[in-house]
Amino acid sequence: MLEATTGYEVVNFGRCAASSQDVLENVRSAFGPVEHAHLNLPPELASLSARPSVKRWRYEALRPDRIVYAVCLNDLLPSGLGEPEPPDNACTRRWRVCKLVSQGLFRATSPDFEQDIHRRGSLERFSHDVREMNQVAIDNGLPPVLAMVVTQSPGRLLDLIGEVEAVMTAANMEVIPAATYTHGHEGELWTVSRWEGHPNADAHRRFAEQLARALKPIQSCCAPVQEGR
């Protein structure tokens, strides 16, 4: 949706259950030095790939204009952990009544999302991760990372969202406050369904439109040069 809205080529590095640790590693990997042999080189440079000492930056192949970080609050959780899942066993797989009872007990005894983030997440580690990924962008001549907390529940978790935004601002990222697209929609629910809590298509459209507005200065500076100028 961001690509369709802006006309930019957008490369999605998102991964299931990724935390800020994983995002940082993705950024470091994309900008880290690699051997020529790992890239598709033109014929005139092919001979260089035989020299192990000759390096080339991976971002020269990617050539990004900007790094955009769409932050889910579960990015504060440890790498690969994600949200807790109901038990999965032979009984729940075979008998629907077992599955329903198991899910009911799981929901009744599990902490809510905000409690779980505070219990298992780490704002301190998140702070370290965002400082490091923003520094990678700056060191490679890019503007600061453009970051925005994405939420499908306007009006909820405002304190936690505010803490996350403050941490990213302190890391010198360019932060779009979630309030810019959630204001006036408090109490609405932009989820796929009652049983699937991820953002629906309307939520993703709102995310893309808000990010596109922040990317307009890049669009204007990269407009095609008119003939004769």
Largest CA distance in the chain: 74
Average pLDDT on 9-16 reads 85
Based on DSSP, count helices (H) and strands (E) in the chain, helices before strands: 10, 5
Task: Tell me the C-alpha distance between 131 and 127, whole Å.
Answer: 6
Rg (CA), the chain: 21
Please determine, for residue 204, whether its predicted confidence score (pLDDT) is greater than 80. Answer: yes
Instruction: Give the pLDDT band of residue 213 (cuts 50, 70, 90).
Output: very high
CB 40 within 8 A of CB 23: no
Task: Tell me the C-alpha distance between 115 and 219, whole Å.
Answer: 40
pLDDT-above-90 percentage for the chain:
38
Instruction: Give the pLDDT band of residue 51 (cuts 50, 70, 90).
Output: very low
Task: Tell me the C-alpha distance between 65 and 140, whole Å.
Answer: 11
Average pLDDT on 11-25 reads 87
Residue entry with tokens 């941490």: 167
Instruction: Give the pLDDT band of residue 79 (cuts 50, 70, 90).
Output: confident
Of the two residues 181 and 196, the one the predictor is more confident about is 181
Instruction: Give the pLDDT band of residue 71 (cuts 50, 70, 90).
Output: very high
Which pLDDT score, from 0 to 100, does residue 105 have? 55
Please determine, for residue 138, whether its predicted confidence score (pLDDT) is greater than 80. Answer: yes
Residue entry with tokens 């629907």: 96
What residues have CB less than 8 Å from 75, skipping those under 6 apart? Answer: 18, 19, 20, 23, 126
